[in-house]
Amino acid sequence: MSDRGSSALRPEHPIARSLPHLVDEFGFETAGAPVSDVVTGITLSSRDVQPGDLYVGLKGQRHHGAAFAAGAAESGAVAVLTDPEGVELAVESGLPVLVTPEPRLALGEVAAWIYRTREDPPTLFGVTGTNGKTSVAYLLEAILRQLGITAGLSTTAERRIGDETIVSKLTTPEATEIHAMLARMREADVRSVVLEVSAQAITQHRVDGIVFDVVGFTNLTHDHLDDYRTMELYYEAKRELFQPDRARRGVVIVDAEWGGRLAQESRIPLTTISTDPASEAEWHLTVDEERADRTTFTLRGPDHRELTTSVPLLGAYMAANAALAIVMLVESGFDLDAIAHALNLAHDDDGAEIDDDDFQPGIDVYIPGRAERVSGDRGPIVYIDYGHSPDAFTSTLESIRRVTDGRVVMVFGADGDRDPSKRAEMGAIAARLADAVVITDFHPRSEDPALIRAALIAGAKAAVPDGELYEVADPRAAFRAALGLAGEGDVILYAGPGHEDYHEVAGERIPYSARDDARKALHEHGWL
């Protein structure tokens, strides 16, 4: 079965379900043609309709989705689900129309019913928080693989089932896509699934119809206030994941106030982690060694349980992400000693144990665009990172400072049409913690990029008036300017683009990969 360029992973052998039974199950009103067919899928996009689909027409900001019902019918849709406002538009398609006051609220349960995702489900892990969600998800999947478990993965960067990978469009896909993906994973005998869960996914009902076995919380810091207006509202969105109808167990890092509060307010059984030895948390993390390419740590838990391991990643914050992943696995039923044993064995690409003299014990993980080193053994060390919030800047820059005696040069911009309240703080943190700052354009979208740069520059100058500061609008030229400021033993942090392969300017996505461009520039300078 072809996915026709869609970002959705669908079952290759869908099981037909009775459309009249669906109507009865959910008590939908009906209009238009008689309801008498079977349904094999569900989608929100008329462009992604496949034969046998239930097309869902939602009211949008500019158009009502029901207006595209005729096109959905031409592609093979068997019915339309919409609200009372969309009925008249949907009836014109000639299809049966199922009617409910708020279709979005029904999406998760309807998709779960169509794809039968509640029947013999895999172990489901959900990760939320401001920073670190993607990293924890990849770490979970990596450890599961080392344990010999076939796992599925859905993150900001990609969706993955075994060797099959597609690029993600949203941090968390729509409910229709999630349940289709879970059905596809069941066909592939996936036993565990890791989902990155954004605050928007919770408030926009994208994870409805799912009950996670274990959910994890990394942190809550300044971000997304364009969506939630206040940190309190942002927190409340995250807290919703720690409710009995959403998850069975939870794990929370309680180093900061929001995590401690969540530990008190969660309505599911909860386990806590802290880096503070004096904390009353059940698990404690100690970072033993930080290097530019690896972080070693020890995790101590109840009953004198202990694990020492490492991640091939920069920073104490990555050790905290790894600790969260490990404790989530323990909470799901894995034995800590079994995890430790698996992390000390070398495996081939198929998960089989092998003898490898060059094997370094630890979590065998690659996380695209998260403090990803793209430089070689000569010249400056270059990291490409997805961080685009004040806290992410602080964590990464402080970690870099601990592993280098050289200069730190930072390149970054800020998202247009996204939470402008954090821009001045981003500029200030970069100016305080880096030796030189190069401010450039990054996804200006509909905003004037010069005004975005000006806000970042103002924050940097207010914090460090005489700081070394450069403004280079073009990101390619900006990185090369940074490279000209660094030499052997120095570090360049290019924050923002991470794994992404485009810049969005005035509604157009312009191809651009910071990782590829950085490697090209390093080669031009003779460093690669």
266 is in an annotated binding site: no
- Tokens read off for 9: 């992973």
Q: Are 252 and 273 in contact (CB under 8 A)?
A: yes
Across 137-235, the runs of DSSP E, i.e. the strands, are 151-154, 158-161, 164-167, 192-196, 212-217
- Tokens read off for 436: 């030189």
Q: Are 160 and 368 in contact (CB under 8 A)?
A: no
Report the sign of the C-alpha dihedral through residues 271, 301, 315, 363, in that order.
negative
134 is in an annotated binding site: yes
221 is in an annotated binding site: no
379 is in an annotated binding site: no
133 is in an annotated binding site: yes
198 is in an annotated binding site: yes
**CA separation (Å) from 461 to 109, 332, 420, 485?**
51, 48, 17, 19
172 is in an annotated binding site: yes
168 is in an annotated binding site: no
Residue 437 buriedness (CB in 10 A; 0-12 / 13-18 / 19+): buried
- The answer for 208, left when phi > 0, alpha when psi is -120 to 50, beta otherwise, is beta
User: In angstroms, rounded to a whole number, what is the distance separating the alpha carbons of residues 17 and 182?
Assistant: 17
156 is in an annotated binding site: no
Residue with tokens 């400072």: 401
206 is in an annotated binding site: yes
Q: Which candidate, 330, 334, 335, 307, places its Cα nearest to that of 319?
A: 307
User: In angstroms, rounded to a whole number, what is the distance separating the alpha carbons of residues 493 and 506?
Assistant: 26
- Residue 477 gets which letter from DSSP? H
204 is in an annotated binding site: yes
129 is in an annotated binding site: yes
200 is in an annotated binding site: no
CB atoms within 10 A of CB 338: 12
370 is in an annotated binding site: no
Exposure string of 257-267, with b = 16+ CB inside 10 Å and e = fewer, is ebbbebbeebe
Binding positions are 44, 46, 129-135, 171-172, 198, 204, 206
Binding positions for ATP are 129-135
